[in-house]
Amino acid sequence: MSKTRDYKYVPLPKSFYEVTPVQLARKLIGTLLIRIIDNKPLVARIVEVEAYGGRDDPASHAYRGMTGRNKVMFNSGGCSYVYFTYGMHYCFNVVAGKGKQAGAVLIRAAEPLEGIDQMKKHRNKEKLHDLLSGPAKLCQAFLIDKSLNGITLDKPPLLITKESIRKSAPEIITTPRIGIKAGLNKKWRFIDAESTFLSARRSPDI
DNA sequence: TGTGTGATAGTCT
DNA sequence: GACTATCACACAT
């Protein structure tokens, strides 16, 4: 079956990513993450992200300068940063900024739209809310691993586009980031207020 | 229904 | 050699 989907793979321009991580995080809410596997798309709508800065952000991998692992964060915006954590999980970030400023946006959760059966298979779970409700889950469902580290997000196998049909801009809430110890004073986590596909267990206090 | 704890391996000092 | 992050499961209420 080679039926063409309605999703047009119009990548976001590079200038979209050449902003600060905080600005990019807000813009990414509601965009579509598309992963092409065997010519079949997995599509999800991004509903939860976190911004990470550079040397000025103690929660960021780039806080202590460039290392072998985080050097992708120092690229200009529009490419991926995939890192391995907990000895068993991957996390997917979108690199922000231009020139040498380090920064990235961690994709924490998304809403499954297309290829749901494939995602269930990859995750070995049936419930929709268990598929993409966490950074490591999202990578497992989308088959994102280190081989995708550093690639640009403007073409297959991994890209980000705008949602074609949108009634109105999503209401966006900001909260402190999750799973870190430093930098808790910054409210750099951005979520779609209407979404039920978030990674946080409790509804956030505003 | 909600909370607590154990498991894991790559990266940096 | 120490640290780091998340998921999944078990348990108690």
CB atoms closer than 10 angstroms to residue A146: 10
pLDDT in tens, A106-144: 999 999 999 999 999 999 999 999 999 999 999 999 999
Residues touching nucleic chain C (CB < 7 Å): A 59, 85-87, 89, 91, 123, 125, 130, 134-138, 140, 178-181, 199
Residues A67-116 pLDDT 10s: 989 999 999 999 999 999 988 899 999 999 988 889 999 999 999 999 99
Provide the positions of strand B that have an atom within 7 A of a protein CB: 2-3, 7-13
Report strand pairing: A158-161 vs A104-114: unpaired
Backbone φ and ψ of A201, nearest 5°: -75, -40
Does at least one atom of strand B sit less than 7 Å from the CB of A69?
yes
pLDDT for the residue numbered A99: 80
Topology annotation, domain A14-192: 3-methyladenine DNA Glycosylase; Chain A (3.10.300)
Tens of pLDDT along A151-206?
999 999 999 998 766 566 789 999 888 877 777 788 899 999 989 999 864 344 33
Nucleotide nearest to A65 (CA to C1'): B12
pLDDT at residue A8 in the model = 62
Measure CA to C1' and name the residue nearest B8: A87
Domain residue extents for chain A: 14-192
Q: How much is the pLDDT for A167?
A: 60
Gap from A135 CA to C5 C1', Å:
11
Can you tell me which residue has its alpha carbon closest to the C1' of nucleotide B13? A64
For the segment 76-105 of chain A, residues whose CB is within 7 A of strand B:
84, 86-88
What's the pLDDT at A13? 95
pLDDT, tens digit, for every residue of A34-65?
Answer: 999 999 999 999 999 999 999 889 899 999 89
